Amino acid sequence: MEEQLVAFLSHLEREYRYSENTIAAYRNDLSQFLEFVESHSGSKLTTWSAVTADSVETYLTYMKHKEHPYASSTIARKVAAIKSFFNYLTAQGIVEENPTLDIDSPKVKKRLPQTLSFAEVERLLEAPMGNNSPKNLRDLTLLNILYETGMRVTEVVSIQIDDLSPDRTMLSSPTRQGEAREIPLEENTTALLKEYLAEGRPQLAKDKVEKALFLNHRGEKLTRQGLWLIIKGYARQAGLNTEVTPHTLRHSFAVHRLSKGSKLEDIQRLLGHANISTTQIYTQMETSEELTEATTAA
């Protein structure tokens, strides 16, 4: 059974290019499900065909009514993982009947993404301006690229020097579907990038072989966790009361571009969304008074 689970996770990584964190979440959710059905089956399961619709329903009931029930969003995610797994097993001919076909996921109220106002973004981007140390040059460039491009955290830490155009006005980033998308950079960010490459990165680099654009203090590729800590630190320094993550900047990028009149299709392309329905959520977001005033003045 473990063999089929590993094959499924490899399938997700290969076909859908899911991140390590997403793959780990699938493994965790499916392992918990397997542990539960094994403990309630009365005997050791040897094949996924032994898992019935009743088994899945019992697990769903357990998640809703255990001592510390899971949130509806968590249950929905776990059910989605189980459904996806059994769809795969059915398609592969490993199970004849899919036990999840009639299983309904709990209804989850879709929360709108959290964004920053123009003024809050400006405060965040100004936070690293204290001096021209290699670290500050890196962080200033990093924050500007995050906000200006709307790139995902994994995409940003994966940028290689070779992904930049010779004049530093464009960078190339692959989508989750595998194609590269070209992302333009504004003049200010291009200037920051050139300064970082000339005066910041060379002092951080310990190995000429390392091609990652953004390096940590050890001269190695900046990690996702490292980037999160950088943003958290500057958000605190800027006096922002809301929790700021890389995705907060991604959402802010999309909403701010829409408020300035960008077409939804252009934002979809820049964000790397496969389906425009994913991008359309930003059209539902109300523009705050502060956002409107800033846009009018821009």
pLDDT score, position 13:
87
Taking the alpha carbons at both ends of the chain, their separation in whole angstroms is 58
Q: Which string of DSSP letters, residue by residue, matches 35-67? A: HHHHHTTSS----GGG--HHHHHHHHHHHHHSS
Check whether 191 has a pLDDT greater than 80.
yes
Q: What is the phi/psi pair of residue 212, to 5°? A: -60, 140
Domains of the chain listed by start with CATH number: 2-91 (1.10.150.130), 118-297 (1.10.443.10)
What average pLDDT does the structure give for the chain? Answer: 85
Which H or E run contains 183?
A: strand 180-184
The C-alpha angle 258, 247, 260, rounded to 5 degrees, equals: 15
Question: In angstroms, how far apart are the furthest CA atoms of the chain?
Answer: 69
Nearest CA to 103 out of 163, 146, 36, 55 is that of: 55
pLDDT tens for each residue of 133-176: 999 999 999 999 999 998 888 889 999 999 999 999 999 887 66
- pLDDT tens for 87-104 read 999 999 999 889 998 887
Q: What is the mean pLDDT of residues 224-228?
A: 91
Residue 191: which H helix or E strand, with range? helix 187-195
Can you give the pLDDT at residue 287? Answer: 45
* Per-residue pLDDT reduced to its tens digit, 229-286: 999 999 999 999 888 888 889 999 998 988 888 888 888 888 888 888 788 888 877 4
Q: Which residue has the higher pLDDT, 72 or 296?
A: 72
2 Cβ partners below 8 Å, 6+ apart?
none
* Percentage with pLDDT > 90 across the chain: 43
